[in-house]
Structure 1
Amino acid sequence: MTKNKQTKDKFVIEASDVSTAWANVLLEVGKPGKRSNPICVVITDQGNNPPLLHRSIHNTLNNFLMKRKETKDKFVTIEETASTIFPYKKWELSGRIGIEALQKWYIGTYLKKYKARCTFSKETYFERMVNFRCVKSNKTADEITHLNQLEYLINKWNTQTISPTKSEMQLSCFDPGKDHTDPHGLKFPCLQQLGFWITPNKQLTLSAFYTTQYIDSRAYGNYFGLLYLGKFLAQQTHSVFHSLRCMVSNPLLEAKKCLLKDVFTEAKNYRIQEN
């Protein structure tokens, strides 16, 4: 297992489980007078089993989020945030079905119920991964279509006799045609782009780029969702999940620090010592 570490400039925080990684990001971003500098989180939660976690800090944060949810709709639980990136529970209960069957269920059944009850967002990241509206060019004319990006990438990797180029293994969550049209400012998506690569010895690394991220209310659930996605990709490509690398250019706190007192106190129990 990779040793937890934190560089002196605090730009990179690395841990072998999601709870420790998130706790140290929270402590770093929550420092008095701290400016919103970019941060890179590396979680080396290796293998295709469910992510490792520390139940104490997990429950402390979830309790905070559930209390905030009673008065503010935009606050949701860890699991709700994670499910917007990947529907892990459904995947597990369905016997780890393939991407085609998962997409069919998600678009045909799940999204209708989700959009009917959800008040904070009418779109999800996974929807854009498996049903991305785009313009497809051909010899005669351009046509508007919906692309299952995940299915394309998985098939591309599995069917090529020669490994695809590294630049091919990426997908978009940001859609300028839709997202640059809101006069009140962009609220979705914060996750812009994803990429993955598999080494010759079958180790898969997933990379994610966020333009901004609320560390207290969203980041922990985001990390879980990304880990779920990475483990799904590893299973679908007959590889082994190795690590998540998540870059955030503008990490912020959504709640006031005084409201996060219990969460900060618990996070200190997982502080990584500087090298």
Structure 2
Amino acid sequence: MIVEGNSPAECWLKILQKILSRSGREISPLEVRINNVSIVPPYQKELEEDINNFLSKIRQPSIEKTAGTIFPQSLIGGKQSVYQRYEKIWSHIQKDHKNKRGTYFQRMTSWGRMSGDNINQLQLIVDTYKGVDGVRKGVHRRSALIATIFDPRIDHTHQPMLGFPCLQQVCIVPHDDEVMEMNAIYAMQYLSTRAYGNYAGLMRLGEFMAREMGLKFTHLNCMISTISLGDKMNKSEAEVLLKKYVQYVK
């Protein structure tokens, strides 16, 4: 099943509609394709407020907080890089028990830290693609433009519920040295609690990587093995929410 739209808000509502049209609470598999066309739907702010109110009620992180685990937009700017600024506040971020196994941005920018390594995969992707002045030319091999999150050394466990990481890897896909798409691969995604923030954070990461690589970001593609409504929202609540916005779902 494929869902396509021009914003995280549009895609989120389309997925909600598809889940509610089925007898169960899941879709497996699902591809979500978000076009990066800078369109802000007129209902987006109100929808985000409704989702955040629900998240607050069930004591789950807001859309913005979830998005920040993938890309910390607030750290962009200033003399220091986003990597340096994130490193400075990492000890504070890690104090939150939800981040005890890391965050997605932390795994992409200091992969393997928990097991002795410290690899900035995002910077390596940029350096690989653009090359290093006076040292070597850029290499555009697609298999080199991948950031891995899942670490089998610490993530393969026998725990019935792990919680993190659901996002497995991110792949940068350039076309003709002008534009790029980004693919994100998920083992599991929860629509009611995480999906909107996931899409927002990934769109920001795509924009960042495109700027760093001298390209234009055109599409985000999320390949999701299973997406669930989540056990925090019942179908009656979901139907009430969808009814409010169904006029916008085409």
The 3 A distance-change label for structure 1 pair 257 and 120 is: farther
Q: Does 1:187 align with 2:175?
A: no
Q: Does 1:52 align with 2:40?
A: yes
Partner of residue 20, structure 1:
10
Residue deviations 1:35-72, cap 9 Å, x none? Answer: 5321101001136xxx7352222222122112222xxx
Share of identical aligned residues, percent?
28
One-letter code of the match for 1:153? I
Q: Does 1:43 align with 2:19?
A: no
Q: Does 1:238 align with 2:238?
A: no
Equivalent-residue separation in structure 1 for 2:99 and 2:51 (angstroms): 21
Equivalent-residue separation in structure 2 for 1:261 and 1:216 (angstroms): 12
Partner of residue 263, structure 1:
241
Say whether the 8 Å CA contact 1:180–1:186 is kept in structure 2.
no
The 3 A distance-change label for structure 1 pair 162 and 183 is: closer
Q: How does 1:144-183 map to 2 (within 5 A)?
A: 144-159=116-131, 161=137, 163-183=139-159
- Alpha-carbon shift at residue 247 of structure 1 (Å): 0.9
One-letter code of the match for 1:193? Q
Q: How does 1:89-108 map to 2 (within 5 A)?
A: 89-91=74-76, 94-95=77-78, 101-107=81-87
Q: How many residues align?
A: 240
Say whether the 8 Å CA contact 1:24–1:270 is kept in structure 2.
no
SS in 2 for 1:132: coil
Say whether the 8 Å CA contact 1:21–1:43 is kept in structure 2.
yes
Equivalent-residue separation in structure 2 for 1:252 and 1:163 (angstroms): 38
Say whether the 8 Å CA contact 1:18–1:52 is kept in structure 2.
no
- Alpha-carbon shift at residue 144 of structure 1 (Å): 4.4
- Alpha-carbon shift at residue 258 of structure 1 (Å): 2.5
Equivalent-residue separation in structure 2 for 1:106 and 1:167 (angstroms): 27
- Alpha-carbon shift at residue 115 of structure 1 (Å): 2.1
One-letter code of the match for 2:27? S
Say whether the 8 Å CA contact 1:41–1:245 is kept in structure 2.
yes
Correspondent of 1:206 among 182, 186, 205: 182
- Alpha-carbon shift at residue 223 of structure 1 (Å): 0.1
TM normalised by structure 1 equals 0.80
- Alpha-carbon shift at residue 30 of structure 1 (Å): 2.6
Partner of residue 66, structure 2:
81
TM normalised by structure 2 equals 0.88
Partner of residue 226, structure 2:
250
The 3 A distance-change label for structure 1 pair 110 and 265 is: farther
Q: How does 1:206-225 map to 2 (within 5 A)?
A: 206-225=182-201
Say whether the 8 Å CA contact 1:46–1:240 is kept in structure 2.
no
Equivalent-residue separation in structure 2 for 1:87 and 1:195 (angstroms): 19
Say whether the 8 Å CA contact 1:204–1:241 is kept in structure 2.
yes
The 3 A distance-change label for structure 1 pair 113 and 246 is: same
Equivalent-residue separation in structure 1 for 2:237 and 2:58 (angstroms): 10
Partner of residue 6, structure 1:
none
SS in 1 for 2:112: strand
